[in-house]
Structure 1
């Protein structure tokens, strides 16, 4: 498709090709994928503009560009995703970590420091990005991460090893069903919250991500109801729950937790000004 070219000409042609396919950030995608092929930082590419690629490198890059042209996310092509300035493995068994979820981690860290909280449960951990980031950046004595997917837990465990985190307890659990005999200061979660109707309207890239980690019954509210109904039993007195929101159903979700008896409910907005995190204190 591209032939034996240097970094500059290869990037230019790849960017034009991705743009012709309707990609929103073709130049950025082309750079990320080429830096992955060359095993170098993206910021160094301008300094390498005259460097020639081997036939094997060109062939590999061509395959990656074709995959991206079909809307496969870059993170699944490289099997790498950045989150909280750490690097995580990502594949089609887990959601790709997103910048908005960093607000959940930042809020948990501030809360733990202010309220002297030192135990946390991460429900629906997926890639483990939340639990691992909390372990790296906080001073928690006890971190438990759970997921119903065994495949996701294997990725989460690998991400803990990659980031030199050894003190997270990983548990296979359908929400709270596998959690027993423990209570926590903080429960965090980024649960599935896309309704079936919303899923059908999602952009093509999101269709590559696991449905089990995206979709929820009851118009996307199933897990909010389940967590609100049971979280109190797993929280210490005056413990907190922090949960990522479907921004378009924040009012309904807040009502679910209010009806559940939680107090001091607060909605925290994301970088775009959308309601993104619900913070609530245990009813006890």
Structure 2
């Protein structure tokens, strides 16, 4: 497709090809994929402009660019995604970790340190990026991570092992259905929150990700209502809940948690200024 070439010429042809397929900003994609093929840092590519690739490397790169031209996400092509400076395996069974989700981890770590909280439940764990990051960066004595998808849990366990985390208890559970007899200081979750109408209108890249991890019934509010209604039974007194928001329904979600008697409810914005996380505290009556 691209023929023989050095780094510079391959990048140029790949960028032109992706532009012809309607990708509006392909420069990052072609550089990330080429650095992956060459097993080098993207920042080093300008210093390698004249380096020629082997025939095998060119063929591999062409295959990756062809997949990207069909709007497959770069993370799935590489099978890897970065989160909190760690590396996570991803495939079609789990969502690709987003930078904005790091706010949940950062907030949980601050709460744990300030309030001396040492147990956490990660609902809808997916790739396990939240639970594994908390285990790596915090001092929690008890971390449980759950998901309804057995395939997702396989990836999460693999990510725990590859990041040298051995003490997470992974549980197959539909929200709280598989969690019994335990209470936690912190419940954290990035649940499915896209309505089915919103899902139908998503860009093609997102259609590669598992619909079960993206879309939710009740106009995208199903899991917020379920978690808000039951989390109090699984939180210790003065426990915290941290949940990622559908930024366009933050007010509705806050009302759901207000109705369920949480206290100190706060909406936290991400670095783009969008409502990204709801933070709330339990009270002593919730588990009754």
If the TM-score is normalised by the length of the shorter chain, which range does it land in? over 0.9
Pairing 1:22-171 to 2, within 5 Å after superposition: 22-171=22-171
Q: Could you list the structure 1 runs, at least 4 aligned residues long, displaced by more than 4 angstroms after superposition.
A: none
State the SS of the aligned residue for 1:272: coil
2:3 corresponds to: 3
State the SS of the aligned residue for 1:92: coil
Q: 2: distance between equivalents of 1:264 and 1:204? A: 38
1:16 corresponds to: 16
Q: 1: distance between equivalents of 2:246 and 2:121? A: 20
Q: Deviations over 1:63-103 (max 9, x none)?
A: 10011011100000000000011110010000000011001
Mean CA deviation greater in 17-26 or 66-75: 17-26
Q: 1: distance between equivalents of 2:164 and 2:22? A: 39
2:223 corresponds to: 223
Deviation, 1:42, is: 1.1
TM-score by length of 1: 0.99
Q: Deviations over 1:113-158 (max 9, x none)?
A: 1111000000000000000000111111110000000000000001
Deviation, 1:22, is: 2.2
State the SS of the aligned residue for 2:280: strand
Aligned length: 284
Deviation, 1:24, is: 3.1
Q: 2: distance between equivalents of 1:12 and 1:131? A: 40
Q: 1: distance between equivalents of 2:97 and 2:46? A: 28
Q: 2: distance between equivalents of 1:253 and 1:131? A: 23
1:273 corresponds to: 273
Deviation, 1:44, is: 1.5
Q: 1: distance between equivalents of 2:132 and 2:119? A: 13
Q: 2: distance between equivalents of 1:262 and 1:113? A: 22
Q: Which runs of 5+ in 1 are unaligned?
A: none
Q: Which runs of 5+ in 2 are unaligned?
A: none
